[in-house]
Amino acid sequence: MSLEPAKLGFLGVGTINSSIIIGVCNASPEAVKFPILMSPPRPNSAPRHGIPDQKALLARFGPEKVQIAESNAAVVKGADIVTLGVRPTQVEDLFDEVGKTLAAETDAHTVSVVSLVSTLKTHHLEAILKEQLPPSFRVGGIVKSWPQPAVQFLQGCTVGAAYKGGEHASSEDCQKLLQWWMEVGSSMGSSVPCTEEQLPGLMAATGMMGAMYQHLSWLSESTQISCDTPMDQMAAEAYLTAFFQGVLADAQHGGAQEGKSFQHFVEEQTAGGLNEQGIKAFSGRREETLQTLNAQLQRVL
């Protein structure tokens, strides 16, 4: 595959894919040919809390930016690169359906896939593509990726790894796809390329995002019991959000400009201060945290 602008399609429009669609439409990267294609809504699908569906995305950005395809097969046929964002148990049935719909196709077409399916092995995806798609469809590059929902605000980080290549997807095509995807990711915030061997550890660590939100929720609760007339909860959460943005900005600057590790910031806290007290309280939970991370790692290996 080339690194020229490519037509992008989305199989599944859930939390991450909808965030990417919003980010791509807001950023309008030169790497993407518009309009992008979205798979159609599932019949009788229930409303999703806070997640815009295909019709909402079309209403927001218009047909010049996004289009709802007639079927999943139309997405695969019409796109150069497909972003796969469905549940692991849905992948084989999805491509079985696509393959049957496209069975009569004889025109040559290359299908490259960016997989967001955390527990789906890239070699397994390669085999599914080759087995289910018509003979005229060639398997192009395959990349596994883990974008943040914040890409919709152009402030998210997108990590990705190229498949090492197999019987059908070449290593060269996979590397080119990764380069293209990192360009798109950078337009929506920042991007971090890594190897397939490195990716599971990063994915396991980012699997603690929900735990971080839980921790912030507990901190928010603590602000409500500190006095007789507590601050409005949303105002308190706005403070905590801004506070930790400042903490991360300090870490980002210190790491990039001065080579400071996270441990450096731990050790520079004032002896006997509130932060040292907090460190001591949490230090006993290191092993429990590592056990959780290892359990998450086993799921994505």
188: which DSSP letter? T
Does the pLDDT value for residue 17 go beyond 90? yes
Boundaries of domain holding 237: 205-300
Lowest mean pLDDT among 37-46, 106-115, 212-221, 234-243: 37-46
Asked if 195 and 161 touch (Cβ cutoff 8 Å), the reply is yes
Q: Are 67 and 75 in contact (CB under 8 A)?
A: no
- Residue 35 binned pLDDT confidence (cut-offs 50, 70, 90): very high
Q: Is 75 helix (H, G, I), strand (E, B) or coil?
A: helix
- In this structure, the answer to whether residues 16 and 141 fall within a common structural domain is yes
Q: Percentage of residues in the chain with pLDDT exceeding 90?
A: 78
pLDDT digits (tens, 9 = 90+) for 162-178: 999 999 999 999 999 99
Task: Tell me if 1 is assigned to some domain.
Answer: no
Q: What is the mean pLDDT of residues 125-150?
A: 95
Q: Are residues 216 and 289 in the same domain?
A: yes
Per-residue pLDDT band for 46 (boundaries 50, 70, 90) equals low
Are residues 74 and 22 part of one domain? yes
Confidence of residue 225 (pLDDT cuts 50, 70, 90): confident
Confidence at residue 299, expressed as pLDDT on a 0 to 100 scale: 87
Give pLDDT, residue 219: 92
Helices (H), 48-197: 54-61, 72-78, 91-101, 122-132, 171-187
- pLDDT, averaged across the chain: 93
Domain membership flag for residue 275: yes
Position 83 in a domain: yes
Residue 138 sits in the same domain as residue 112: yes
One domain, residues 187 and 116: yes
Is 224 a member of any domain? yes
Over range 123-138, report the average pLDDT: 95
CATH number, domain at 99?
3.40.50.720
Looking at the domain assignment, is residue 270 inside a domain? yes
The answer to whether residues 142 and 280 belong to one domain is no
* 93 and 226 share one domain: no
* Of 12-21, 53-62, 113-122, 203-212, the least confident: 203-212
Residue 40 lies in a domain: yes
Q: What is the pLDDT of residue 47?
A: 63
* Token pair belonging to 271: 């002896």
Helix (H, G, I), strand (E, B) or coil at 189: strand
CA distance 14 to 127: 24
Residues 150 and 219 in one domain: no
Looking at 136, 166, 195, the residue that finishes a domain is 195
